[in-house]
Structure 1
Amino acid sequence: MQEEKKNPKNPVWSFFSSVRLTLALLIIIALAAVIGTVVPQQEAAGESLQKLPPALAGIVKFLQVTDLYHSPWFLLLMGLLTVNLVVCSLNRLPVSLRLYRRRPGPDRPGLYDALPPDRVLEAEGGVEAEADRMERALRKTLGNVERKQGDQAVWLAAHRGAWSYFGVYAVHAGVLVIILGAVIGSILGFDGHVNIPEGGSVDAIELRGGKGEMKLGFEVRCDDFDVEFYDSGMPKLYRSDLSFMKGGEIRARGVLMVNHPLEFEGIRFYQSTYGAVPGEAVLVITGKGQRTVRRARQGERFDIEGGKAQVEILRIEGNLMRMGPAVKIGVREGDRALSFWVFKFIDAIEEQNPGITRQVPQFNAGLYRPYRFGLEGIETSFYTGLKVNRDPGVPVVGTGAFLLVAGFLLTFFSSHRQIFVRVDRRNGKTRVSVAGQSSRDPAKLDRAVARAVRIYRGEAS
């Protein structure tokens, strides 16, 4: 069965072992990557799609161009490339193994014919002594030396770089490992965002692509947020002081800035954006001859009337219906519950709309008698916008990148160099003939031969 698969007449095997297929797939994937870079992806594509003609927008949606890297056709391309690389590697591996194991004999006929003069040396010593000298020179040059003894001569063979035959497999393996890392990240990882008000905390994030909410398994609290501006009003620097809490205890703290992410339990947090939100509302409560000032955030509660009634800040609006800052208050006393709005500029509103508090009871800040609520102002605070992701495939992709670079270095900057030497007697002198061959880069072979000769002559060490 294995032989049938490797039979070049097998059309399926021939198709997937084609280098042309590899080139075609790489070109298509590269073009797709360019499209994915130019065309806004996922949420960022919404506004762009609305500007397109309906027919073109339909084609874009059908091809999933705005979520290109998760589209079926892009995944199909990656799958085809994976199969292609595996088949190409299996198809070529037996040849590479033969080349790696092959050790041509240093005494084969014709090897030392037509050598240039600088490759044929004469010496006064005996054959054995000169062979020993040359063997030491070859060991310093290439490292591995094999010696063959004959009746009239001694032959030496040295080689280095046989692993260069496997550089292409390291490249293939690197690409496959990178694809594997991307798949792991896509399946086991996630990408989302969250906004945390200054002083607030969250335990969940919104997943990208409208995939809903996901619990983190811990809380993230924004202890402090600072932003600095240029004179033009553009933000110069913004940073978030974060605390990571689990089980009610702070497990880690850190300062988050742009390009300086934080990581907790394998989840990375990036400073993405920020914004202003209504912070504390400053309320003035008058009644029963008393005047009380309270500060409260949205969602906070406090007691009045000696604890008989509870006030809750339901909403805080910076400009409600263009009538200025307003706070919606809920008051509960036993089974009785009511809610109403408290406006900062209620006097001006009543001047422009006489009787509005009678017509719209919810605008009556004295609805809960004998108390009357007033709004001195709303203190603006910031929220920090964080990008949150986990990608367990990153180490795998890093490993693949290492293999890819190592494979390219091995393929293009390494070669299998072999030097062959014959030491014999001729015309009463010892003759040392030096030949060589290389899988590529003949200039590098020439340098290796020249160095071995210099060491043999004592001109180098």
Structure 2
Amino acid sequence: MTRVRRVCLAGQTTRASLPVHWVNRAVSVVGSLRFFLLLVLLLCPLLVLSTILPQGLHDFGVTEHGSRPVIRILSRAGLLDPIHSPWFLVPAALLCINLVICIGKRVRRFTAHPHMTPGADDSRDRVRLSALRSLPRFLTHLGVLILVSGVAIGGMAAFETTLELPHGETVPVAPLVPYRGLVDEGLLVRCDSFSVSHYESGLPREYRSDLTFFLNQEILHQGSVFVNHPISINGIRFIQAHYRLDHHAVITLAHDGQTRSFSAAPGQRLDVGPETTATVVRIVENVLSLGPAVQIEFRSPREQGSVWVFSRIEEILESYPELFEELPHLNPAMFEGSLFSLSGVEPHYTTGLIVAYDPGIPVVGAGAIVMLAGLFLTYLFPVRRARTSGAQIPVKGGDRP
């Protein structure tokens, strides 16, 4: 009876130790150097791919570049945004676990054996092996862990959106931010001026925006934003991304005895009168070498239609006296009681800003500093060999006892 009980107890012990054995086995595999190298080999191509791919391809790549086979393959594989894809996040999480296990082993080894000093009667050379000499490797692993954690924080909490701000206009910042409480509801931004310089070939060399930030109707900050020189407000960065050149038409309208002037963009409605509207449809800088012109759609209870208004209409009539008879839609007075005239076309810039927030940037910076400190100490105190009785023992640091 006793023998049977012993066998049963042994079987229970074996079954109970099986999960512990597999857990230890999994920890050993995940925390190994080979697993670390495998994860690095998986992450490096994704980092290279994220550098090569254009920004914003995740949102616009399929529609604008959908005909390219490579784009279709990347879209189906979920790699248009590699950094935020599971292909990157899963290995990055496993890399963090690998580093945590490695750091835990080193901390446990340090607390269990703070130092080792051979006895005085030993025939070998006296060698002091201190666990503190593993500090460079510990700092390197810890720095990589902090760096990857910063990337993970940025991947989960960061956001990026685009703001197109016409020259002279003011817009609120709060609607652009998806997190409540991150910015005050009274925060506004205004584009005071925009300037661009070009090379001789006509390509843009530098463009910058002069911005003013208001908080509750008071000036909070003023500064210039140009490429690679953003402005940061409450941790939110405003980055110069692009610009757009539009044209505004300076139109004068005489209607029912009243004369008014407008500076209008395409799609803008002109305030003509009750039940009467005039909408700018198109603005062209030069139509058939006849100068700038604007197309206006006119609607009133009596009539409606479309008219082209030229700024050099008098010169055109001198060359083509019968122009209005042959092409009545070029007559600026074709609508009864209304006369349009075009003074000119003015360039109007719209600056394109990226509004970005990434709380992981300070964490990444701290991790980079810790990692560089570990690498510096590693090269400052290289591994040396101490010869003892025909054997070689690796020793960290210098020759001091």
Report the TM range for the smaller structure's normalisation.
0.7 to 0.9
The CA distance in 2 between the partners of 1:264 and 1:326, in whole Å, is 41
1:110 aligns to what? 123
Correspondence for 2:147 among 154, 178, 181: 178
1:439 aligns to what? 395
1:190 aligns to what? 159
Residues 133 and 396 in structure 2, CA contact (< 8 A), matched pair in contact too: no
Deviation at 1:23, TM superposition (A): 0.7
Does 2:66 correspond to 1:50?
yes
Which deviates further from its counterpart, 184-193 or 342-351? 342-351
The amino acid of 2:396's aligned partner reads: R
Does 2:78 correspond to 1:64?
yes
Deviation at 1:354, TM superposition (A): 4.1
Correspondence for 1:256 among 225, 246, 251: 225
Deviation at 1:396, TM superposition (A): 0.6
1:343 aligns to what? 308
What's the Cα RMSD here? 4.3
Say which SS state the counterpart of residue 199 (structure 1) adopts: coil
Deviation at 1:191, TM superposition (A): 1.2
Counterparts of 1:293-308 in structure 2, within 5 Å, are 294-298=261-265
Does 2:247 correspond to 1:283?
no
1:238 aligns to what? 207
2:9 aligns to what? none
The CA distance in 2 between the partners of 1:230 and 1:57, in whole Å, is 33
Say which SS state the counterpart of residue 108 (structure 1) adopts: coil
1:10 aligns to what? 24
| 1:234-255, Cα deviation, whole Å (9 max, x unpaired) | 2232221111123333321111
1:93 aligns to what? 107
Say which SS state the counterpart of residue 349 (structure 2) adopts: strand
The CA distance in 2 between the partners of 1:345 and 1:180, in whole Å, is 62
Identity %: 28
CA 230–439 in structure 1, closer or farther in 2 if over 3 Å, else same: same
Does 2:69 correspond to 1:23?
no
CA 312–108 in structure 1, closer or farther in 2 if over 3 Å, else same: farther
Residues 110 and 132 in structure 2, CA contact (< 8 A), matched pair in contact too: no
The CA distance in 2 between the partners of 1:226 and 1:393, in whole Å, is 33
Say which SS state the counterpart of residue 211 (structure 2) adopts: strand
Say which SS state the counterpart of residue 385 (structure 1) adopts: strand
Say which SS state the counterpart of residue 228 (structure 1) adopts: strand
Residues 231 and 237 in structure 2, CA contact (< 8 A), matched pair in contact too: yes
The CA distance in 2 between the partners of 1:234 and 1:205, in whole Å, is 35
Does 2:183 correspond to 1:227?
no
Say which SS state the counterpart of residue 359 (structure 2) adopts: coil
Residues 164 and 415 in structure 1, CA contact (< 8 A), matched pair in contact too: no
Deviation at 1:36, TM superposition (A): 2.4
The CA distance in 2 between the partners of 1:8 and 1:91, in whole Å, is 18
Residues 278 and 316 in structure 1, CA contact (< 8 A), matched pair in contact too: no
CA 228–58 in structure 1, closer or farther in 2 if over 3 Å, else same: closer
Residues 278 and 381 in structure 1, CA contact (< 8 A), matched pair in contact too: yes
Deviation at 1:371, TM superposition (A): 2.8
Deviation at 1:273, TM superposition (A): 1.5
Say which SS state the counterpart of residue 50 (structure 2) adopts: helix
Residues 268 and 280 in structure 2, CA contact (< 8 A), matched pair in contact too: no
The CA distance in 2 between the partners of 1:365 and 1:256, in whole Å, is 43
| 1:251-272, Cα deviation, whole Å (9 max, x unpaired) | 2111112222111121111122
CA 57–232 in structure 1, closer or farther in 2 if over 3 Å, else same: closer
| 1:68-114, Cα deviation, whole Å (9 max, x unpaired) | 11111211111111122222332343334344x1241562332469x
Residues 193 and 205 in structure 1, CA contact (< 8 A), matched pair in contact too: no
Which deviates further from its counterpart, 323-332 or 75-84? 323-332
The CA distance in 2 between the partners of 1:186 and 1:340, in whole Å, is 53
Residues 17 and 91 in structure 1, CA contact (< 8 A), matched pair in contact too: no
| 1:36-72, Cα deviation, whole Å (9 max, x unpaired) | 223444246447843434xx65532221121111111
2:375 aligns to what? 408
CA 235–189 in structure 1, closer or farther in 2 if over 3 Å, else same: same
| 1:349-390, Cα deviation, whole Å (9 max, x unpaired) | 994994664xxxxx9865775232222322121111112211
Which deviates further from its counterpart, 371-380 or 337-346? 337-346
CA 11–90 in structure 1, closer or farther in 2 if over 3 Å, else same: same
The CA distance in 1 between the partners of 2:22 and 2:379, in whole Å, is 28
The CA distance in 2 between the partners of 1:161 and 1:339, in whole Å, is 93
The CA distance in 2 between the partners of 1:57 and 1:303, in whole Å, is 47
Say which SS state the counterpart of residue 344 (structure 1) adopts: strand
CA 327–220 in structure 1, closer or farther in 2 if over 3 Å, else same: farther
| 1:321-370, Cα deviation, whole Å (9 max, x unpaired) | x79632547789xxx7997655223977994994664xxxxx98657752
Correspondence for 1:317 among 282, 287, 295: 282
TM-score (norm: length of structure 2)? 0.73
Does 2:94 correspond to 1:80?
yes
Correspondence for 2:361 among 375, 387, 394: 394
Instruction: Work out the number of aligned pairs and report it.
Output: 360
